């Protein structure tokens, strides 16, 4: 898969760590792969642009380009960041091989590569972080499924909600569809479940429908599974 699937509203579950700097500008890569570049002010570092995308393996990469680094430190392209977890497990070289294959680049397109010792640093970070975080909650077996439409959702907010619930209506798996058609799927198996899983149980369908901003209905397991498969289908892109 070339280019990866762009995602938004994602936070790394642990510490984000740099593994490389690319020798290609972010705007060039975005045009090639059809990404939408986001802009923001990075605390203490000034204007930044970036793209979050998911590799075929499901690992999430952040490409972040700092205006200050480009203008004053002659950095040639964006830094490559990912969560400490994959870095601790696979090391720099294996992750870079996967990244470069996804971006249709070679080692010649790298401006800087993190040292091999970064893997051990990531391992130590994971040990500290994991010991402080609570595990996922204990929930029941799948019991029902529903589809809600958030009629007042803005462009950056999900309009369609598909959820698998246990008997107490706590969510087990979730799918969100945006107005531009993109889909996001997550569960307690997701690395960033603490950021994306809803807190608490969903109210009954009748209660949801009393809110004029929503419509809702029960759906079958097969309808939910069809949407789950679609949301987890790898993105495809043609080579230039």
| Average pLDDT of the chain, as a whole number | 90
What's the pLDDT tens digit per position in 80-101? 999 998 999 999 999 999 999 9
In 3D space, the residue among 82, 93, 80, 37 whose CA is nearest the CA of residue 60 turns out to be 82
Higher pLDDT among residues 113 and 133, named by residue: 113
What's the average model confidence in pLDDT over 149-175?
Answer: 94
What's the pLDDT tens digit per position in 214-228? 999 999 999 999 999
The pLDDT of residue 133: 64
DSSP string computed for 7-47: E-S---SS-EEEEEEESS-HHHHHHHHT---EEEEETTTEE
The pLDDT of residue 3: 60
Strand 110-113 vs strand 144-150: parallel, antiparallel, or unpaired?
Answer: unpaired
């Amino acid at each position: 898969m070339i280019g990866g699937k762009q995602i938004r509203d994602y936070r790394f579950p642990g510490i984000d760590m740099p593994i490389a700097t690319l020798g290609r500008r972010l705007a060039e890569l975005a045009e090639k792969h059809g990404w939408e570049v986001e802009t923001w002010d990075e605390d203490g570092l000034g204007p930044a642009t970036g793209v979050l995308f998911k590799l075929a393996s499901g690992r999430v990469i952040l490409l972040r380009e700092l205006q200050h680094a480009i203008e004053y430190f002659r950095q040639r392209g964006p830094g490559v960041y990912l969560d400490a977890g994959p870095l601790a497990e696979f090391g720099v070289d294996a992750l870079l091989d996967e990244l470069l294959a996804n971006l249709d680049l070679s080692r010649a397109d790298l401006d800087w590569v993190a040292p091999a010792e970064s893997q051990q640093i990531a391992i130590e970070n994971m040990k500290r972080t994991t010991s402080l975080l609570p595990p996922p909650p204990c929930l029941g077996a799948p019991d029902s499924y529903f589809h809600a439409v958030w009629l007042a959702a803005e462009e950056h907010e999900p309009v369609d909600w598909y959820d698998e619930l246990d008997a107490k209506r706590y969510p087990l798996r979730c799918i969100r569809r945006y107005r531009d058609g993109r889909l996001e799927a997550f569960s307690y198996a997701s690395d960033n479940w603490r950021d994306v899983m809803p807190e608490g149980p969903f109210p009954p369908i009748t209660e949801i429908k009393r809110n004029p901003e929503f419509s809702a209905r029960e759906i079958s397991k097969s309808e939910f599974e069809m949407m789950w498969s679609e949301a987890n289908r790898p993105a495809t892109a043609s080579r230039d």
